[in-house]
């Protein structure tokens, strides 16, 4: 799972996910992907996102979970509705967040990106504390990975159009970009 030298941020909860692996040799991290997730869909605050990222989601806990419980997915970071953050994958490792994806004619975005999940959905505005946490984490990540310029911060929908909608129409890109400027 993790090894000495892995990049774990301070000030966030560490919950190592098995759903990660090494990035390809020589692959530089130069993309940040913003996502949203809620489990069950449209519900917030439960333990289910973490359980999904740890392969511990019980298919019987909710009808929707039967469809997704066997998926092996993760993100580097999760920002909950209250603004608290958890890190599931070391930043220098490949999290399994983007799936089939393309950015600037490069596929396999997991190879060269960092994924941040916001607890949310397409039809519910995000909390101000989530934007605050996201901007702080973005600044810390960009200090460590300067190839992630503001132009190389995208939504999941940008790298998987037609397949994904997140972070969705309720995500305030203008406000977020002001916070990270």
Report the 3 state secondary structure along the chain.
CCCCCCCCCCCCEECCCCCEECCCCCCCCCEEEEEEECCCCCCCCCCHHHHHHCCCCCHHHCCCHHHHCCCCCCCCEEECCCCCEEECCCCCCEECCCCCCEECCEECHHHHEEEEEEECECCECCCHHHHHHHHHHHHHHHHHCCCCCHHHEEEHHHHCCCCCCCCCCCCCHHHHHHHHC
Please determine, for residue 134, whether its predicted confidence score (pLDDT) is greater than 60.
Answer: yes
Alpha-carbon span 138 to 147, nearest angstrom? 12
Could you report the per-residue pLDDT of 152-175, keeping only the tens digit for each? 999 999 999 999 999 999 999 999
* Predicted pLDDT at 174: 98
Identify the pLDDT of residue 4: 47
User: What average pLDDT does the chain have?
Assistant: 96
Check pLDDT > 50 for residue 105. Answer: yes
Q: What is the mean pLDDT of residues 35-49?
A: 97
| 137-159 per-residue burial string, b: 16 or more CB within 10 A, e: under 16 | bbeebbeebeebeeebbbbbbbb
Domains of the chain: 13-37+74-180 (3.40.80.10)
Task: Give 26's contacts (C-beta < 8 A, 6+ positions apart).
Answer: none
Bigger pLDDT: 139 vs 5: 139
Question: Is there a contact between 79 and 12 (Cβ–Cβ < 8 Å)?
Answer: no
For 124-135, what is the mean pLDDT? 98
Q: Identify the pLDDT of residue 6.
A: 84
DSSP bridge partners of 147: none
Q: What is the pLDDT of residue 9?
A: 97
Percentage of the residues of the chain whose pLDDT score is greater than 70: 97
* Residue 1, pLDDT above cutoff 70: no
d(CA 122, CA 14): 27
Confidence of residue 2 (pLDDT cuts 50, 70, 90): very low
Report, as residue numbers or ranges, the catalytic residues. Answer: 117
What is the mean predicted confidence (pLDDT) over 41-62?
A: 97
Task: Please provide residue 15's backbone torsions phi and psi, each rounded to the nearest 5 degrees.
Answer: -135, 85
Does residue 12 surpass a pLDDT of 60?
yes
């Amino acid at each position: 799972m993790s090894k000495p030298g892995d990049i774990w941020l301070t000030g966030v909860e560490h919950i190592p996910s098995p759903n990660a692996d090494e990035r390809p040799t020589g692959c530089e991290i130069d993309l940040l992907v913003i996502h949203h997730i809620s489990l069950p869909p449209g519900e917030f605050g439960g333990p289910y996102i973490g359980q999904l990222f740890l392969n511990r989601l019980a298919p019987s806990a909710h009808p929707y979970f039967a469809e997704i419980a066997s998926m092996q997915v993760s993100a580097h970071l999760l920002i909950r509705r209250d603004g608290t953050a958890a890190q599931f994958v070391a930043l220098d490792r490949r999290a399994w967040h983007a799936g089939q994806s393309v950015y600037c004619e490069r596929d396999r975005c997991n190879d060269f990106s960092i994924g941040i999940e916001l607890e949310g959905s397409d039809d519910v505005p995000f909390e101000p504390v989530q934007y605050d946490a996201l901007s702080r984490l973005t600044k810390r990540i960009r200090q460590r990975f300067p190839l992630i310029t503001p132009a190389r911060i995208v939504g999941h929908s940008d790298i998987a159009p037609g397949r994904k909608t997140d972070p969705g129409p309720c995500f305030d890109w203008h406000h977020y970009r002001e916070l990270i400027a």
